[in-house]
Structure 1
Amino acid sequence: MATGTDASPFHPDLRLARFLPRTAVTAGNRRLVRAMGSVGAGRAPRKGELVTLPSGARLRVHWPSGAAGPHLPAVLHIHGGGLIIGSARSGDRANRRLADTLGAVVASVDYRLPPEHPYPAPLDDCEAALAWLAEHHRVDSTRVAVTGESAGGGLAAALTARTVDAGRITLAGQALMYPMLDDRTAADPTQPDPPYLRLWNGASNRLGWGLYLGAQASTPPADAVPARRDHLSGFPPTWIAVGTLDLFRDEDHAFAERLAAAGVACEIVTVPGAYHGFDVAEPHASVSIDTTRRLTEALRGMLKS
């Protein structure tokens, strides 16, 4: 799996990889990391607005610069954080850029977090955010896509499943960055992690899923874990990207294969030598820029009229 002249497993563009921790979240630092991420969450984004949903969860809305009138395409963004940390505010810059690049409304939901708000609260907030967006008088409800990274990608897939089942909204597509889809990944604590993991490992995965599923962890509900869904027919066009050194590599590929088998148009981009969250940790690396560009173009294709 060597990608560089020094036989490092990491992509040569990702120069910080060898210095990063194997995980960013532990049972010991979860509360601190979560508190740090919530700073500024109550302030509206620059050139945008802050909407409060009925549950109290907030929606950070980025209107495209210079776009006027109704019938705008829209993207619902769901942030990552292993289901237990993170905030929509961290994506403000990227979502502002995405809104202007696509000429679309981009809204990011600050869903409630466990353990105070386990499943289904986070997914309910995502569903409420999607409804707000699709029903807005300036939005073309036939051109709404969902996107998210890591846990946000998993919640996006779970939301897509709910939307397919409900039949009230027909999504234009879903674009998922290294989505967290399967609670069975690294479920055995006796199995060692591969040495190349960065920013998210098996212990953190067990912590995240455990707090999210709560009392239902032993028998997860049908719509809580996307990889456990028994059928994927009816899903919209899907784009997935995941690195070869990501804990979620195998579950993401398995999900893509199941989508294709169900007749869903699905593209999966495998990024050689990329670790979990590489584009966030090293956004200026050429491989990160290229992957972000491909994500943007995938959304553009989904939203075209």
Structure 2
Amino acid sequence: MIASQVLAKASSVLAFAYVSLIREQKLDIKKRWPSSEQELVEVRRFNKTLARLPRFQVRNRLTPRLIQALLRAAQIGRALKPVKHDLRIETTIVSTGNVPVSVRIIRPKGKPKGVVFDIHGGGWLIGNAQMNDDLNIGIVNACNVAVVSVDYRLALSTPVEGLMDDCFSAACWLLGSDCKEFAGLPVIVVGESAGGHLAAATLLKLKARPDLLKRVVGTVLYYGVYDLTGTKSVRTAGPETLVLDGPGMVGAMRLLAPDRSDEKRREPPLSPLYGDLTDLPPALMFVGELDPLLDDTLEMAARWQNSADVEMHLLPESPHGFIHFPTALARKVLARSHEWINARMEGRP
């Protein structure tokens, strides 16, 4: 036990040294998304709207609770409207290792060729599986897969490790023998923002279960958080940041693990950037140029590509959360994700 702890510590230290080297040498793995002037004009116009809106701040626990209540109210109202799709949606409780967790399952009309394991965003403090219904229904229809979305507990009343446990428990259920319905089907893990953090952490934890990890054929990560001490782009984010409260981001992340030093917060899987990424599946990553989490994706992609194929795209003039915005750029990104998911499910590179 002691030997394994020493090895894990040494691996984390080496990973930190490698990330530091990436930062010093400014390794350029950026692949800027090709965009027309018309598409950029649309993005700039929407950014002006975002600039007039309040940023998401985590300086107390009241604001996230209020936002969560408003989200649930909106979802209840939406549930009263006629369903516009012909898909089966079910919410159920699953459990492995005495960690029960709610999952939302969206099934295609026919037999699925695979499963997408979805982890929603929301800064660890707000959100639920239902909030991704539109995105996930799009995946189901475009890729003929089922989607299992995790309704993990939120950090309002649960330590961040509890959120990680929920995601890991749901993943073990899906990939293990308890889930008969999807047995043997290939799985792709999808995560966005805080969900990207939890997705990467889940994959790292699955390394202890290679029998389960081997079924994961890929991961799609949208502008994730991979260093809970804050990468350079997070630490230098100013008040002009769109969507997120730039100056408050480091403090907000510290609230997730308030009793830990920065050194302890860097330990994987809490900070996936410093984990051992060997044996992880191929990855598709997206991040916007204006996102304070830019360096998280750049540095994670630089490390990931040493272990598996990585396709990384930098979205011009795009802020955090862009896949939810009504722009042509967002639609093209989602279309590329669907293409990539289809290829991986069918065993194509």
TM over 0.5: yes
Match of 2:208 among 165, 184, 197: 165
Cα pair 1:50 1:60 within 8 Å, conserved:
yes
Q: Which of residues 19, 22, 36 in structure 1 aligns to 2:70?
A: 36
Q: Could you say which residue in structure 1 is the equivalent of 2:318?
A: 274
The correspondence for 1:285, drawn from 303, 327, 340, is 327
Deviations 1:179-219 (CA, angstroms, capped at 9, x unpaired)? 11112326899x66346521113344234422322423541
> What displacement does 1:142 show?
5.2
For 1:237 and 1:130, the matched residues in 2 are separated by 18
User: Which residue pairs with 2:297 in the alignment?
Assistant: 252
Write the distance in 1 (CA, Å) between the matches of 2:173 and 2:233: 40
The equivalent of 1:66 in structure 2 is: 110
Alpha-carbon distance in structure 2 between the residues aligned to 1:13 and 1:200:
20
Give the alignment's TM-score, normalised by structure 2. 0.75
1:78-97 aligned within 5 A: 78-97=119-138
Give the Cα–Cα distance (whole angstroms) in 1 for the partners of residues 102 and 168 of structure 2.
13
Q: Quick check: 2:238–2:246 contact (8 Å CA) kept in 1?
A: no
Q: Which structure 2 residue ranges, 5 or more long, are not aligned?
A: 1-34
Q: Aligned AA for 1:47?
A: R
Greater mean alpha carbon deviation, residues 233-242 or residues 161-170 = 161-170
Contact map agreement 2:94 2:101 (CA 8 A) in 1: yes
CA distance in 1, matches of 2:136, 2:55: 25
Give the aligned length. 290
2:242 to 190, 198, 207: 198
- How far 1:127 sits from its partner (Å)? 1.1
2:42 equivalent to 1:13: yes
* Matching of residues 61-140 of structure 1 within 5 Å: 61-67=105-111, 72-135=113-176, 136-140=179-183
2:47 alignment partner AA? A
Measure the CA separation in 2 of the matches of 1:175 and 1:117.
26
Q: CA deviation at 1:81?
A: 0.8
Q: Which residue of 2 aligns with 1:300?
A: 342
Q: CA RMSD in A?
A: 2.8
Maintained 8 Å contact 2:58/2:252: no
Selected match of 1:224 from 264, 270, 273: 270
Larger radius of gyration: 2
**Which structure has greater helix proportion?**
2
Q: Percent identity?
A: 25
- Tell which deviates more after alignment, 295-304 or 195-204: 195-204
Partners of 2:134 and 2:292 in 1: how far apart? Answer: 27
Q: Given the superposition, is the C-alpha separation of residues 115 and 216 from structure 1 closer, same or farther in structure 2, using an over 3 Å criterion? A: farther
Task: Give the Cα separation in 2 of the matches to 1:184 and 1:296.
Answer: 32
Aligned residue identity for 1:86: G
1:239 equivalenced with 2:284 (yes/no):
yes
Give the counterpart letter for 2:269 in structure 1: D
TM normalised by structure 1 equals 0.85
Decide which moves more: 91-100 or 268-277.
91-100
The runs of 5 or more residues in structure 1 that have no matched partner are: none
Q: Work out the CA distance in 2 between the residues paired with 1:27 and 1:38.
A: 22
Q: 1:297 deviation in Å?
A: 1.4
Going from structure 1 to structure 2, the CA distance change for 1:214 and 1:115 (only over 3 Å counts) comes to farther
Distance 2:192 2:233 in 1: 24
